[in-house]
Amino acid sequence: MVERALRAGAEVLVAAYPRDVLRAEAALSSFSGAVAITAVDATSEDDLRALEDKLRSRWGYLDGALHAIAFAPRAALAGIVDVPAADVEVAVRTSVWTYAAFGRLMHRLAPRSGASLVGLDFDSARAWPVYNWMGPCKAALRSLNGYLARDLGPAGVRANLIAAGPLRTRAASGIPDFEVLVERWRCQAPLAWSPEDASVVADAACFLLSDLSRAITGEILHVDGGFHAMATCLEQPGG
């Protein structure tokens, strides 16, 4: 995503969870000097205020933001019924509430010419054999996106989600039986889907962040090889 954004002429600030800052710096070392990195716990009001101050000091405004934040404790990923309320609260605050927090940030920092908020989503229209409490979190994210589009629109801020197919990211490594999703895409997506190729999602995000999408808000853009449009597997059993 960073590479695509820089290629499009963007100035980029990456907000990484505090314990992941060194990992982010290593991953972005090839862009040294072109990308700023700061530590932010997006569930912390204090950290969000500090981030706003940093953005005001550096640029004075914010043209766009990509919300790529999701987390659920292991128990919330392993089941639904017997999950402690505290674990569900962590999942919802991290994966859903932070999107609203980014919306508040965009509302305060958007230039008069308009701005764009983009979030990363996953198909929540059905129950999966894996994913568990992250499914309801993504359903809540979709509902929230519509309300943000409503409330941010008068300020010229767009709010859209990208419903992506499964990608082998660090976050995906924490989902039990993630390969079940990959196999499902292999047999049901009409377009070939590579779980290693995040560039297709990055390109869609750049489109939604750009002025090319200036009349689009409240939308869920599926970047999943067409999986969502198919009723069932396209291959014969054993194919």
Q: State pLDDT tens for residues 165-202.
A: 999 887 777 777 888 899 999 999 999 999 999 999 99
Closest Cα partner for 39 from 68, 14, 16, 69? 16
User: Distance between CA 36 and CA 43 in Å, rounded?
Assistant: 21
Ranges of residues in the chain whose predicted pLDDT is under 70 = 236-239
CA distance 207 to 233: 30
The pTM assigned to this predicted structure is: 0.93
Contact 232/239 with Cβ under 8 angstroms?
A: no
Domains of the chain, with CATH numbers? 63-229 (3.40.50.720)
Q: How far apart are the first and last CA of the chain?
A: 34
Residues labelled as active-site residues: 131, 138
